Amino acid sequence: MELNKIKHIGVLGAGLMGHGIAQIFASAGYDVNLYDADPAALQAAKGRIADNFKIFIELKLARPEHRDCCLDRISLCPSLEAFVRGPQLIIEAVLEDLKIKRNLYSELEPLTPSDTIFSSNTSAISITELGAAFKVKGRFLGTHFWNPPHVLPCVEVIKGAATADEAFETVYALMEKVGKVPVRVLKDVPGFLGNRLQHAMWREAISLRENNIASAEDIDKVVKYGFGARMPFIGPLETADLAGLGLTRDIHRYLFPYLESSREPSPVLEDLVSAGATGVRGGRGFYEWPPEKVQRIIRQRDGILLRIIHEIVSLTGQRGRKDASEEG
Ligand SMILES: NC(=O)c1ccc[n+]([C@@H]2O[C@H](COP(=O)([O-])OP(=O)(O)OC[C@H]3O[C@@H](n4cnc5c(N)ncnc54)[C@H](O)[C@@H]3O)[C@@H](O)[C@H]2O)c1
């Protein structure tokens, strides 16, 4: 399917990610069908999107009429039969469960034309394994958005072993068209790019806490006010080049034997989860999370992220900065 044939998007799952993904496409002028197995989650979606717009309007990145047009373009579908009427691309954002996702694909595929493209927002499940549910396997790929999807620009577009080149390139081009910064993940590896990088760091952060090397606050501060502060503009491989690869090699020779390399989740993490301290959802994790703090942090996070992203876009004149290789 060519890019210009895509006029209508379907989003499966109206939860944390799904409602924000629907917002992206409706804001870019696409009609969007939204479906959720839980009617309450479906009904809540438009209210959540209206809430998401508040900070955009406050920062003058959107006007109230943008919000209203966006909401008008979204149809809440009461059934899968109603949902499949229209979309040329269906993005799935239901629970992170291989069986649930595959059952849903098997139910939907016979209801759609053979050129409808399907993608999954899975955080880590193999695209090739998920795609085995399809009869026409080339139509399936991964589109991994980052939370909050309507704020963070990057989308990992993931090629499964059977994904057709045309579907892959069309979805990549679509992400650019709606103002996202897509990256091509050419081989389907668990965790793709971002979650491999992110969880390598979380494993080390949790290990540092477990061994009482520092408080949770100080571990987070070293990222927020140290090396993490340059990350909106400079990636790890650019930083390695800037620091010098000889130095990088010497540090790795010395340091690697001391880094956390466990192949299991940390015992501290297991204990917290068993005790119901699951983080924000449980009210407590590495930190205490009373509801008013959660609301405040999320509002501040979105405002700060939007300001940083807006600043980068105005400095570089484009959504995604040119690669170093393109700068010559
Ligand atoms: N939360 C994140 O930070 C994040 C980031 C990137 C990717 N993801 C991935 O996105 C997907 C969705 O995650 P989320 O955080 O939005 O979850 P969520 O629990 O907030 O929402 C999932 C929604 O799917 C619905 N659902 C469950 N089974 C369904 C079915 N058979 N048909 C239709 N709807 C169904 C649920 O009712 C729920 O509303 C997962 O694969 C997750 O791994 C999550």
13 lines ligand 1 (CB under 6 A): yes
- The DSSP output letter for 150 is T
41 lines ligand 1 (CB under 6 A): yes
pLDDT tens digits, residue range 121-138?
A: 999 899 999 999 999 999
pLDDT of residue 326: 42
Q: Taking residues 211-220, report their average pLDDT.
A: 98
- Residue 320 pLDDT exceeds 80: no
Instruction: Give me the DSSP letters along 28-41.
Output: TT-EEEEE-SSHHH
What lies within 8 Å, CB to CB, of 253 at 6+ separation is: none
Q: How confident is the model at residue 322 (pLDDT cuts 50, 70, 90)?
A: very low
Give catalytic status of residue 156 as yes or no.
yes
- Compute the distance from residue 93 Cα to the ligand 1 centre, in Å: 5
pLDDT tens digits, residue range 267-300?
A: 999 999 999 999 999 999 999 999 999 999 998 9
Residue type, 46: K
94 lines ligand 1 (CB under 6 A): yes
Q: How confident is the model at residue 199 (pLDDT cuts 50, 70, 90)?
A: very high
Please check whether residue 173 is in contact with residue 147, taking contact to mean a CB–CB distance below 8 angstroms.
Answer: no
Give catalytic status of residue 106 as yes or no.
no
Domain architecture of the chain: domains with CATH: 3-185 (3.40.50.720), 195-327 (1.10.1040.10)
Instruction: Give me the DSSP letters along 134-154.
Output: -SSGGGEEEEEE-SSTTT--E
Which residues face 157 on adjacent strands? 143, 184
- Compute the distance from residue 24 Cα to the ligand 1 centre, in Å: 16
User: What's the length of the chain?
Assistant: 328
- The percent of residues in the chain predicted with pLDDT above 90, rounded, is 91
- The DSSP output letter for 85 is S
148 lines ligand 1 (CB under 6 A): no
126 lines ligand 1 (CB under 6 A): no
pLDDT of residue 316: 74
- For the chain, give the mean pLDDT: 94
Pocket test of ligand 1: the residue of 16, 38, 202 to mutate, having most ligand atoms within 8 Å of its CB, is 16
- The DSSP output letter for 15 is S
Catalytic residue among 33, 144, 150, 266: 144
Classified as helix, coil or strand, 317 is: coil
Please check whether residue 8 is in contact with residue 32, taking contact to mean a CB–CB distance below 8 angstroms.
Answer: yes
Please check whether residue 83 is in contact with residue 35, taking contact to mean a CB–CB distance below 8 angstroms.
Answer: yes
